Amino acid sequence: MTKKESKKWQRIKCIEEVRKLFKKGDTLYTQLHRRTRSGAIYFSVRYIKDNRPLQLNFHTSEILDMKFDKEWHCLKQPFGNMDMGFNTIYTLCNVVFNDGYYLKHEWL
């Protein structure tokens, strides 16, 4: 399997896992870690299952082809002039569920 095929397969598996994990109306939380002077933002996507906070950073980075910062273990967006948390969750829902408002969003 080539690297391109492997990446495509990994994306499909992540989409399937996210579809199984959530039902309509569940809430995803975003948490800002830091913002640079150049405008880049570092943030995490989290959800709560059985009273335990869990991260969705890897799945989100694979599905949306976003940069994953290994030092901070979070997502990196090279610009942040709008609500990047809402934009990320909306885009994720559009790709996975074909409905941008399938899941709710809140900042931590």
pLDDT in tens, 13-41: 999 999 999 999 999 999 999 988 888 89
Question: Which residue in 35, 29, 103, 92 sits closest to 64, CA to CA?
Answer: 92
CB 95 within 8 A of CB 61: no
Gap between the Cα atoms of 8 and 81, Å rounded: 30
Predicted confidence at residue 31, as pLDDT, reads 94
Gap between the Cα atoms of 86 and 78, Å rounded: 16
Predicted confidence at residue 82, as pLDDT, reads 74
Predicted confidence at residue 13, as pLDDT, reads 96
Predicted confidence at residue 83, as pLDDT, reads 83
Predicted confidence at residue 49, as pLDDT, reads 87
pLDDT in tens, 4-14: 899 999 999 99
Write the burial class of residue 30 (CB in 10 Å: 0-12 exposed, 13-18 middle, 19+ buried). buried
Predicted confidence at residue 16, as pLDDT, reads 96
pLDDT in tens, 57-92: 999 999 999 999 988 899 998 886 778 899 999 999
